[in-house]
Amino acid sequence: MDHGKVDQVPEVLLSRYEIEERVGVLAAAITKDYQGRTPHLVGILKGAWVFMADLIRHMDIDVTVDFLGITSYGSGTHSSGEVKITKDLDVSIEGREVLIVEDILDTGRTLKYLEEVLSVHQPHNLRVVTLLDKRSRRIVPVKADYVGFEIAEIFVVGYGLDFDQKYRQLPDIHVLRHTPLP
């Protein structure tokens, strides 16, 4: 495929086909676990929206959705763990079965923050699905209830994930660097 002006990122880590298959498996597990109920999916912007769009289309139960926009302070390497909300939730999560939808879990600082902030609003329960998990990078001991792929300490882009806001539109997940950002 001709990507036109998009810079080429040659190494594919996870193809669109592998991703679709795994997203289907995750959606089936979530469908089973929430059978007869209506989970409220909260997608964390920006990275998670591509994954979330595919995930809900593989699910076979009613869902409601909302989005929380966040951005890391500082250089954008998530090292500070300080997070600023850029778009708040539209509807109350009180009493709801909330499923946080993330693209990637790295140090865990963002998820820790999200769990603290959302718990204040008294959801019935709060679970997490992440497409990617860099478990070996964890600094804060958090974990997701549903994980698509565990990956090594590499820097990946595509399928919603960016570097400096680029590459989100790539259909596959590519390795941009074999070392993480500092």
158 lines the binding site for ligand PRP (CB under 6 A)? no
Starting at the edge strand found earlier in the chain, the sheet holding 146-150 runs 83-87, 64-72, 40-45, 97-105, 125-133, 146-150
- Among 106, 133, 145, 172, the active-site one is 106
Question: Could you say whether residue 107 binds ligand PRP (CB under 6 A)?
Answer: yes
Choosing from 31, 58, 63, 72, the residue that interacts with ligand PRP (CB under 6 A) is 72
d(CA 157, CA 165): 10
CB of 60 to ligand PRP, least distance (A): 26
Q: Is position 68 an interface residue for ligand PRP (rule: CB under 6 A)?
A: no
Binding mask 44-63 for ligand PRP (x = CB under 6 A): xxxx----------------
Q: Concatenate the DSSP letters of all residues of 62-116 into one string.
A: --EEEEEEEEESTTSSS-S--EEEEE--SS--TT-EEEEEEEEESSSHHHHHHHH
Active site residue 164: no
The full length of the chain comes to 182
Residue numbers annotated as active site: 106
Write out the residues near ligand PRP by the rule CB under 6 A.
44-47, 72, 78, 102-111, 162
